Amino acid sequence: MRWRSSGLPVLFLSLLTVSATVSGFRICSYNVPKFNLQKASNYRVMHTLTRVIAGCDICLLQNVIDSKGEVIRSLLSSLNRYDDDYLYKSVSSKGLGKSADDMQQYVFLYRTQTVDVVAQYQYQSKQSFLRAPFIVQFQGKRTAIKKFILVPLHTEPTQAIQEIDQLYDVFKEVSKKWNNTNVMFLGDFHAACAYVTRANRKNIRLFTNTSFSWLIKDKVDTTVSDDTNCAYDRIVVYGEPFLKAISPSSAKVYNIAKEFKLTRSKVLEVSDHFPVEVKLKSSALLLQATPLLILLVQSFPSAL
């Protein structure tokens, strides 16, 4: 193929590159039970986990046991070898829990080209949570909504109702602290089946307050086993502005068994949960790139 115009090709290719980025900004959440050095030494586990995270602009990992930081360093090294289009970094909580052998961390891994960490905060109240949220404010570089706050929670199953309800208090504190109500809650809430029934919802303010939108619905199965059918893992956002900044119907289970053609046994090596994900809309400038590209192609067909 030979170009017949000297000016159009550069613009055409530039717009083509830009339009390729308009697929949405993906936020993922994945509970990886007992993700420690022993588990990280399993090549299949690390390879699968690397592929999952490489598909996300931000990925929250829960249940990380890594007091020396070796596990996450190894995972970042794997990520940065696997996907050389991006540089991945992480921000982590300290170990949280009630016993020395189960001090779990919340870890956010993110692409430095698409998002910045603005601030971080460990919620201080120990009365309400076994693993209190480690809260991070991000700023998207190509998202319609710029600054947004991610609040992770991995509930203690027997305390799920109380812990999910207390997220309302976390919201009030952190939105005031950073003067930002663009708040998303995500993680393994155990918000289904026997742990949280429909009758329990009257005791959970994130359900009774209609300003909170539950994006992963009740009938979604976020578990891997055929023996369970529960929407344990959830994504919840506050307010109309944040809801409008989310791509419609993008909140869903990331079925890595189908995506990567993995057997159930190989998926279970990583976790008995599937990841969940949601996409943020790209900025208005980027959203204009695709129709402009089409217009140019229609206007200058002889240039191709």
pLDDT in tens, the chain (304 residues): 333 344 444 444 444 444 434 468 999 999 999 999 999 999 999 999 999 999 999 999 999 999 999 999 999 999 999 989 999 999 999 999 988 778 999 999 999 999 999 999 999 876 789 999 999 999 999 999 999 999 999 999 999 999 999 999 999 999 999 999 999 999 999 999 999 999 999 999 999 999 999 999 999 999 999 999 999 999 999 999 999 999 999 999 999 999 999 999 999 999 999 999 999 999 864 444 445 444 444 554 444 4
What is the structure's pLDDT at 164? 98
| Domains parsed from the chain with CATH numbers | 25-294 (3.60.10.10)
What is the structure's pLDDT at 293? 44
What is the structure's pLDDT at 128? 82
* d(C-alpha 92, C-alpha 214), whole Å: 25
Cβ partners under 8 Å of residue 127, min gap 6: none
Instruction: Please give the torsion angle defined by the CA atoms of residues 141, 145, 151 and 155, in that order, rounded to the nearest 10 degrees.
Output: -110
What is the structure's pLDDT at 296? 47
What is the structure's pLDDT at 63? 97
Cβ partners under 8 Å of residue 187, min gap 6: 29, 31, 60, 62, 106, 152, 153, 154, 155, 233, 234
What is the structure's pLDDT at 114? 97
- Global pTM? 0.87
What is the structure's pLDDT at 1? 39
What is the structure's pLDDT at 126? 63
